[in-house]
Copies of this chain bind each other. A is one copy, B any other.
Amino acid sequence: MRSAARLFLTRSYQSVGVDELCAVADVRKGSFYHYFPAKSDLAKAVVDHHAAALWAHLDRAALSDRPGARLHAMADAVGEIQAAFEARFGHVVGCPFGNLAAELATTDDGLREHLAAVFAEWERRLAVLCQAGADPARLARILVAQFQGMILLAKTGRSAASEIPDALHHVIALNLREVP
């Protein structure tokens, strides 16, 4: 699962085969299919692994006592995750959810639904952080979308991970000014 997480993130889902995964992880193909009936089941496990890490980061961001500080801490949390990927792989490799969603939402409906549930949960958790604002659900969706887009632009343009939270801080600041 860790080998798959790394290879999917640094390359793509379709470019990595089960044979290569088994060789890299040093497991036999029979063992692989014992744990994962299909490659897409492995992808779901990889998604759940990344989601657990994101929820832990968001839980820490939620500890701040003011709503504005919580939102900005959330932006920094996603920035830290991307900076860690950048440090490990040499450049921004994308969001683990966004990459798989863009590549597979049109061809694997089970995986699309699995990823849609993660995005919905991410929005739900952000909406809780946004509670003081005028329309928490709308702001939460805007922020998740902003992150997905900024990460994709950084991945494509080979720009720095540190630029990703900057845009979020700006959008959050504009939205907080709405709050009475």
- Stoichiometry (number of copies): 2
A96-137 CB contacts (< 8 Å) to partner B: 98-99, 101-107, 112, 115-116, 119-120
Whether A116 lies near B167 (C-beta < 8 A) is no
Report A's interface with B, CB cutoff 8 A. 10-12, 14-15, 93-94, 98-99, 101-107, 112, 115-116, 119-120, 138, 141-142, 144-150, 152-153, 155-158, 167, 170-171, 174-175, 177-178
Q: How far is the CB of A6 from chain B (nearest CB, A)?
A: 12
Given contacts A12-B14, A146-B142, A152 and B116 within 8 Å (CB-CB): no
- Besides A12-B14, A93-B106, A148-B148, 6 more A-B contacts (Cβ < 8 Å) are A94-B102, A98-B149, A105-B156, A119-B156, A119-B157, A145-B146
State A158–B138 Cα separation when bound (angstroms). 17
On chain B, the residues within 8 Å of A170 by CB distance are 138, 142
Residues of B within 8 A of A144 (CB): 149, 153
CB pair B145–A152 under 8 Å, yes or no, is yes
User: In whole angstroms, how far apart are the Cα atoms of A155 and B149 in the complex?
Assistant: 13
| Given A103-B103, A119-B157, residue A171 in contact with residue B142 (CB < 8 A) | yes
3 closest cross-chain pairs (CB), A and B: A145-B149, A102-B102, A148-B149
Contact A157 B14 (CB under 8 A): no
B-side contacts of A156, CB under 8 Å:
101, 105, 112, 115-116, 119
CB < 8 Å: which of B99, B115, B150, B174 contacts A102? B99
* Chain B residue with the shortest CB-CB distance to A89: B106
Contacting residues, chain B, for A171 (C-beta < 8 A): 142, 171, 174
